[in-house]
Structure 1
Amino acid sequence: MKIEGSSAIVTGGGSGLGEATARLLARLGAVVHVFDRNGEAAGRVAQDIGGVAVTGDVTDEGDAAKAFGLAAKAGDGLRILVNCAGIGTAGRILGKEGPMPLADFERVIRVNLIGTFNMMRLGAECMAANPELDDKARGVIVNTASVAAFEGQVGQAAYAASKGGIVSMALPAARELARFGIRVNTVAPGIFLTPLLAGLPQEAQDSLGAAIPYPARLGDPAEFADAVRFVIENQYVNGEVIRLDGGIRMQPR
């Protein structure tokens, strides 16, 4: 699908992987709506790229509807949705203080999995109203999982469950939305240099990078954005989960 002239929403677009994706799509000519709970961050990125800032929560139907209402009126209609919003709260199922509070597990599932589904269902509705392009295409959705979906580490039960759900949704969602000309794919990143990791000492960053077979370094958010670009532009990629991890297979700890 052609990116230039398309309207796009990037959730979590105010920082990290979402910010890198928003910046790349804007450089390629998309009208990018930067959707983030942090309105200040969304505004900063949107101003830099000539996009539209939308402050909101991906789990809130009203916030999501507001974003889609804006995006549907831009460019030639909403064609691209990239879901990068998420949280990474860690916690053991049974720790020194007792079992994990159920509310902690529910929060991770709600933001990462339910939030992704909420944006996907409303985005599909918006895209289905678009006129067809080549190959009867109307839009493309790219979700963000994690290698934790496959090799969740100790303390990652909630996070791994949420990302595993996103992985599992890729194929059935792609099959269901195919009749509307909407593709659904998922990128599962490994260890990337997001703001959280950037705050670690260089020695700690180097130690994490050394565990990656090749290249032995943390992933650059620009590399994630480039993978998203490939998924958007290659019309034959559908229902797929792409690991982007330098060949790492996470150990238990």
Structure 2
Amino acid sequence: MSWEKEEKERGMTRRDWVRVGMAAGAVGAVLGLGGLSIGQILPPPLKFSGEIRETIQYTKFPPTDPTADLWWNTKAGTAVKVSDFDRDWKGATGVWRGLYQNNQWVPGTGFPCLIIRVKRENQYFSYPDAAHMPAVLPEGFNLFFDDPNLDAANGGTRIVVLFDRCVHLCCYPGWHVVNNPPPFRDYASYTGGAIVPTYNVFGVDPVYCICHGSQYEPMVLVVNTNDKSGAQYVGAWRVHGPAPRALPVIPVKASGLNLVGGMADPAWYVYC
């Protein structure tokens, strides 16, 4: 999608605003310098183009831990496919709505995300029902991808996508990319003794932010309130502090095999 096309409904596009800003600055310069003409002052027209991709694209993760399986690094810059996640607990990093110029991602743009295949079962996996959803999802999107026929021999495929910015201090949590130091596992003091399915049942660690130790449970999606924007949102349950609340989900759907993100409410992600 062209980012200029995306903003036409709002009136002026980003390119229009850039041009207005340049023109205003040039007029001020002319007035300050006196006799020079605008033609002598204005620079050549600014050429700016780009594409915002709704399809989630892989991003490269730095190899900081030799024990981590960074299988997706060779796929950086390509579309995330649901079929890539061929086993439970397989995860990767990506970006949604990143800006691409000349088919290259512009670093720092878009929403960084974690893509995680969780166990497809309904005893421990939970999410808000329609009556408790804080926002209407875009048509065709769900809180997670779910297909009983994809890898049916192993129970089907379920994928959760999370916004990869910690709600504590906006660091970047990871999924099994850093194992040393290991995460603290004193979950009872944060959960009131409730089971943390990934660790207590399936023996794998939750989402882990190594910077300060926050952890999030991708098997339990809950409604929390964003204390910065005031918006209620759905996110992966906070099971270890110092993070005060859940890590927001990114609603998704499959387009063919490509994983596509959808915006429920921008206020879910406004806190960094």
TM-score, with length taken from structure 2: 0.22
Q: With CA pairs under 8 Å and 6+ residues apart, which has the higher RCO, 1 or 2?
A: 1
Whose Rg is larger? 2
Task: Indicate the structure with greater strand content.
Answer: 2
Task: Indicate the structure with greater helix content.
Answer: 1
